[in-house]
Amino acid sequence: MPISKEIMEQWGGETLITHLDKETQSIVLIGIHSSQIGPAAGGLRMKKYKNLEDAVTDVLNLSQAMTSKFAMANMKWGGGKTVVYLTRDLDTTEREQFFMRFGEILQSLQGRYYVGPDVGTSSEDMDIIYKTGKPFVFSRTVKAGGAGSSSVPTAYGVYAGIKTTCKFLFGTERLEGRTIFIQGLGNVGQILLKILLKENARVIFTDTNPELVDRMLKEEPTVQFLPPDKSYDVACDIFAPCAHGAILNATTINQLKCKGIVGAANNQLSEPEDAERLKIRGILYAPDYMVNLGGAMGITAIEAEGVPEEESIENVQKTISETLAEIYINAKSADTTTVEAAMKITQKRLEKYLPNKIGI
């Protein structure tokens, strides 16, 4: 849908920057959802979208989710996101030059927004952006002086979310013998799989990348693979979406044979009504921004606040376990969806700093 006054009002954020990168014909969209509590921070997503409207929708939703993540993490950072709408593939040199120009855009924002990696970008890309965008860059490689990939704290956060969800569903957070299905074995999914195997969980996974699937089956012979089109029919305790967003809708929710959903993917619900659909089906849904905040929280704490890595990962797990439990208890006692219960907590935390100023 094209951008409109209604959409901007619904977003409730501060500023949407649009920039045409003439050299690559890419469109850079920077959504600064909130920068009053502290500077906005959030990853740079770079990909080919079906159309520009989808890219705009993504930057608005994702920047809003970052505000919620930092509120749930109890950190004085705001929400932001960059989406780069690619019109063609870029070769290595073009990509590098693009990132150098992006660093200059960051400089022009004078610290109102800090970037990090996201889908389609890596810590190596952050190293390049840093050359011109210093210091407004998170998650550079360890070699370059950064904290490295955000996938590690993200995966540990999802793991904490799975344990809390099992505690609520089955009365114990022990994962031994539990069946967990991971959709998407990328950066986060692979780390999560290894953590779960250490806990003797039974892991089923899917991925669309055949080479990756072959490698994983060789590396971890106890795990089971199912083709991607079987994703919503898997009988399991926990479904962990770790590929991409908008996978839950009226059709897929009807098919699901899981008891809980806890995954890293951003914006898993296709529309707000899906939260109610899950509740009706008796599936316990861990709100995505609550259980995938580990990357943002962990990296920001390490790099901006000097928290040691191990302590930061522990803090991520503690924050997610405690707040997710609060969400589940509130949703049960008020007979609302977990999304509604999470939103109430987020709003309360934001109002502490900014009464009625930010729309989530």
Is 128 a residue that touches ligand PHE (CB under 6 A)? no
Angle at 27 between CA 24 and CA 32, to 5 degrees: 140
Q: Is 81 a catalytic residue?
A: yes
- Rounded to a whole number of angstroms, the distance between the first and last alpha carbons of the chain is 20
Name which of ligand NAI, ligand PHE, none residue 138 binds, using a CB cut-off of 5 to 8 Å depending on partner kind. ligand PHE
> What stretches of 210-315 adopt beta strand conformation (E)?
224-225, 238-241, 260-261, 284-285
Is 287 a residue that touches ligand PHE (CB under 6 A)? no
* Binder among 39, 103, 189, 295 for ligand PHE (CB under 6 A): 295
Name which of ligand PHE, ligand NAI, none residue 151 binds, using a CB cut-off of 5 to 8 Å depending on partner kind. ligand NAI
Q: In whole angstroms, what is the distance from residue 11 CA to residue 60 CA?
A: 6
Is 296 a residue that touches ligand PHE (CB under 6 A)? yes
Is 242 a residue that touches ligand NAI (CB under 6 A)? yes
Q: CA 266: distance to chain centroid?
A: 4
Name which of ligand NAI, ligand PHE, none residue 86 binds, using a CB cut-off of 5 to 8 Å depending on partner kind. none
Nearest approach, Cβ of 234 to ligand PHE (angstroms)?
26
Residue 235 is encoded by which pair of tokens?
């009988």
Is 317 a residue that touches ligand NAI (CB under 6 A)? no
Q: Which residues contact 51 (CB under 8 A, 6 or more apart)?
A: none
Nearest approach, Cβ of 16 to ligand PHE (angstroms)?
18
Nearest approach, Cβ of 275 to ligand NAI (angstroms)?
19
Nearer to ligand PHE (CB atom), residue 15 or residue 330: 15
**Binding string to ligand NAI for residues 60 to 99, with x set by CB under 6 A, is what?**
----------------------------------------
Q: How do beta strands 26-32 and 78-85 pair?
A: antiparallel
Name which of ligand NAI, ligand PHE, none residue 244 binds, using a CB cut-off of 5 to 8 Å depending on partner kind. ligand NAI
Is 21 a residue that touches ligand PHE (CB under 6 A)? no
Q: Which of 81, 163, 259, 279 is catalytic?
A: 81
Binding residues for ligand NAI restricted to 146-205, rule: CB under 6 A: 150-151, 154, 183-189
Residue corresponding to tokens 């360890």: 142
Residue corresponding to tokens 């994703």: 231
Radius of gyration (Cα) for the chain, nearest Å?
Answer: 20
Nearest approach, Cβ of 77 to ligand PHE (angstroms)?
8
Nearer to ligand PHE (CB atom), residue 105 or residue 216: 105
In the complex, the residues that contact ligand PHE under the rule CB under 6 A are: 41-43, 116-118, 138-139, 150, 266, 295-296, 299-300
- Residues with a known catalytic role: 81
